[in-house]
Amino acid sequence: ALSREEAARLGLDVELIGSDCATLNLADASVDILFCHQTFHHLVEQHRALKEFYRVLKPGGYLLFAESTEAYIDTWVIRWLFRHPMHVQKSADEYLEMLREQGFEFDAQNISYPYLWWSRSSDFGLLERWGLRKAPPVGQREETLVNCVARKPVENAVP
Protein backbone atom coordinates (compact mmCIF):
# COMPACT_ATOMS: atom_id res chain seq x y z
CA ALA A 1 0.00 0.00 0.00
CA LEU A 2 2.84 2.41 0.83
CA SER A 3 4.58 1.70 -2.48
CA ARG A 4 1.35 2.34 -4.36
CA GLU A 5 0.88 5.64 -2.49
CA GLU A 6 4.47 6.73 -3.16
CA ALA A 7 4.20 5.92 -6.86
CA ALA A 8 0.98 7.94 -7.08
CA ARG A 9 2.59 10.85 -5.18
CA LEU A 10 5.46 10.83 -7.70
CA GLY A 11 3.11 10.47 -10.66
CA LEU A 12 4.64 7.15 -11.69
CA ASP A 13 2.73 4.49 -13.60
CA VAL A 14 3.80 1.28 -11.86
CA GLU A 15 2.45 -2.22 -11.61
CA LEU A 16 2.94 -3.84 -8.22
CA ILE A 17 2.86 -7.63 -8.14
CA GLY A 18 2.95 -9.71 -4.98
CA SER A 19 4.22 -13.22 -5.55
CA ASP A 20 6.43 -16.03 -4.32
CA CYS A 21 9.92 -15.93 -5.86
CA ALA A 22 9.52 -19.50 -7.06
CA THR A 23 6.20 -18.82 -8.85
CA LEU A 24 6.23 -15.34 -10.36
CA ASN A 25 3.01 -14.15 -11.94
CA LEU A 26 4.82 -12.82 -15.02
CA ALA A 27 5.01 -13.94 -18.62
CA ASP A 28 8.10 -15.66 -20.01
CA ALA A 29 10.79 -13.22 -21.18
CA SER A 30 8.87 -10.18 -19.94
CA VAL A 31 11.44 -8.50 -17.67
CA ASP A 32 14.55 -6.50 -18.65
CA ILE A 33 16.25 -6.32 -15.23
CA LEU A 34 15.77 -8.15 -11.95
CA PHE A 35 17.25 -6.59 -8.83
CA CYS A 36 17.77 -9.32 -6.26
CA HIS A 37 19.15 -7.79 -3.07
CA GLN A 38 19.69 -9.97 0.00
CA THR A 39 16.96 -12.42 -1.00
CA PHE A 40 18.45 -15.87 -1.50
CA HIS A 41 19.71 -16.45 2.03
CA HIS A 42 16.04 -16.28 3.11
CA LEU A 43 14.77 -18.74 0.49
CA VAL A 44 14.50 -22.48 0.97
CA GLU A 45 13.76 -23.09 -2.72
CA GLN A 46 16.71 -21.15 -4.12
CA HIS A 47 17.08 -23.18 -7.31
CA ARG A 48 13.36 -22.90 -8.12
CA ALA A 49 13.45 -19.14 -7.58
CA LEU A 50 16.53 -18.74 -9.78
CA LYS A 51 14.92 -20.84 -12.51
CA GLU A 52 11.87 -18.59 -12.29
CA PHE A 53 14.02 -15.45 -12.50
CA TYR A 54 15.70 -16.89 -15.59
CA ARG A 55 12.30 -17.69 -17.12
CA VAL A 56 10.89 -14.17 -16.77
CA LEU A 57 14.05 -12.38 -17.93
CA LYS A 58 14.20 -11.40 -21.57
CA PRO A 59 17.14 -12.77 -23.59
CA GLY A 60 19.95 -10.31 -22.90
CA GLY A 61 18.28 -9.28 -19.63
CA TYR A 62 20.23 -8.76 -16.44
CA LEU A 63 20.04 -10.18 -12.95
CA LEU A 64 21.62 -7.84 -10.39
CA PHE A 65 22.47 -10.28 -7.63
CA ALA A 66 23.67 -9.11 -4.20
CA GLU A 67 23.81 -11.70 -1.46
CA SER A 68 25.17 -12.45 2.00
CA THR A 69 27.11 -15.68 2.17
CA GLU A 70 27.15 -18.49 4.67
CA ALA A 71 30.27 -16.98 6.23
CA TYR A 72 28.14 -14.04 7.36
CA ILE A 73 24.77 -15.73 7.96
CA ASP A 74 26.39 -18.38 10.15
CA THR A 75 27.95 -15.89 12.59
CA TRP A 76 26.93 -15.75 16.23
CA VAL A 77 25.44 -12.28 15.97
CA ILE A 78 23.26 -13.05 12.94
CA ARG A 79 22.15 -16.40 14.34
CA TRP A 80 21.32 -14.70 17.62
CA LEU A 81 19.30 -11.88 16.05
CA PHE A 82 17.70 -13.59 13.03
CA ARG A 83 16.44 -16.93 11.79
CA HIS A 84 17.52 -18.25 8.40
CA PRO A 85 17.24 -21.65 6.71
CA MET A 86 20.81 -22.72 7.49
CA HIS A 87 20.75 -25.84 5.30
CA VAL A 88 20.62 -23.72 2.10
CA GLN A 89 23.28 -21.11 2.89
CA LYS A 90 26.08 -20.90 0.34
CA SER A 91 29.57 -19.51 -0.08
CA ALA A 92 30.22 -16.78 -2.64
CA ASP A 93 31.63 -19.38 -5.04
CA GLU A 94 28.59 -21.61 -4.57
CA TYR A 95 26.19 -18.75 -5.34
CA LEU A 96 28.17 -17.88 -8.47
CA GLU A 97 28.18 -21.53 -9.54
CA MET A 98 24.41 -21.67 -9.03
CA LEU A 99 24.03 -18.67 -11.37
CA ARG A 100 26.27 -20.31 -13.99
CA GLU A 101 24.45 -23.65 -13.75
CA GLN A 102 21.16 -21.87 -14.41
CA GLY A 103 22.65 -20.46 -17.61
CA PHE A 104 23.59 -16.92 -16.62
CA GLU A 105 26.77 -15.43 -18.07
CA PHE A 106 29.25 -13.18 -16.29
CA ASP A 107 32.98 -12.56 -16.04
CA ALA A 108 35.25 -11.56 -13.16
CA GLN A 109 34.64 -7.89 -14.00
CA ASN A 110 30.94 -8.46 -13.20
CA ILE A 111 31.62 -9.64 -9.65
CA SER A 112 32.51 -7.77 -6.48
CA TYR A 113 33.08 -8.91 -2.94
CA PRO A 114 32.22 -6.12 -0.49
CA TYR A 115 33.93 -6.73 2.83
CA LEU A 116 31.88 -4.43 5.00
CA TRP A 117 32.73 -3.89 8.66
CA TRP A 118 29.40 -5.24 9.88
CA SER A 119 29.85 -8.51 8.01
CA ARG A 120 32.83 -9.60 10.13
CA SER A 121 31.79 -11.64 13.14
CA SER A 122 35.07 -11.64 15.05
CA ASP A 123 35.51 -7.89 15.62
CA PHE A 124 33.13 -6.16 13.17
CA GLY A 125 36.20 -4.79 11.39
CA LEU A 126 37.24 -2.67 14.37
CA LEU A 127 40.92 -3.64 14.12
CA GLU A 128 41.01 -2.36 10.53
CA ARG A 129 39.11 0.79 11.44
CA TRP A 130 41.59 1.50 14.24
CA GLY A 131 44.52 0.87 11.88
CA LEU A 132 45.76 -2.17 13.81
CA ARG A 133 45.30 -4.61 10.94
CA LYS A 134 44.65 -4.54 7.20
CA ALA A 135 41.71 -6.42 5.79
CA PRO A 136 42.85 -9.51 3.91
CA PRO A 137 42.53 -9.17 0.12
CA VAL A 138 40.04 -11.06 -2.04
CA GLY A 139 41.17 -14.65 -2.35
CA GLN A 140 42.75 -14.66 1.11
CA ARG A 141 39.56 -14.38 3.15
CA GLU A 142 36.20 -16.06 3.42
CA GLU A 143 33.85 -13.77 1.54
CA THR A 144 30.83 -12.50 3.46
CA LEU A 145 29.05 -10.81 0.54
CA VAL A 146 28.94 -11.29 -3.19
CA ASN A 147 27.57 -9.02 -5.92
CA CYS A 148 27.17 -10.12 -9.51
CA VAL A 149 25.74 -8.63 -12.68
CA ALA A 150 24.65 -11.72 -14.58
CA ARG A 151 23.20 -11.73 -18.09
CA LYS A 152 20.73 -14.14 -19.63
CA PRO A 153 22.22 -15.13 -22.98
CA VAL A 154 20.41 -13.94 -26.07
CA GLU A 155 20.55 -17.38 -27.71
CA ASN A 156 18.79 -19.10 -24.77
CA ALA A 157 15.32 -17.60 -24.76
CA VAL A 158 13.78 -20.20 -22.40
CA PRO A 159 15.64 -22.68 -20.15
Task: Determine the pLDDT at residue 6.
Answer: 95
Task: Determine the pLDDT at residue 37.
Answer: 92
- pLDDT confidence band for 57 (50 / 70 / 90): very high
pTM value?
Answer: 0.84
Express as a percent the part of the chain with pLDDT over 70: 95
State how far the alpha carbon of 104 is from the alpha carbons of 4, 138, 140, 151, in Å. Answer: 32, 23, 26, 5
34-151 belongs to which CATH class?
alpha beta
Domain range list for the chain: 34-151
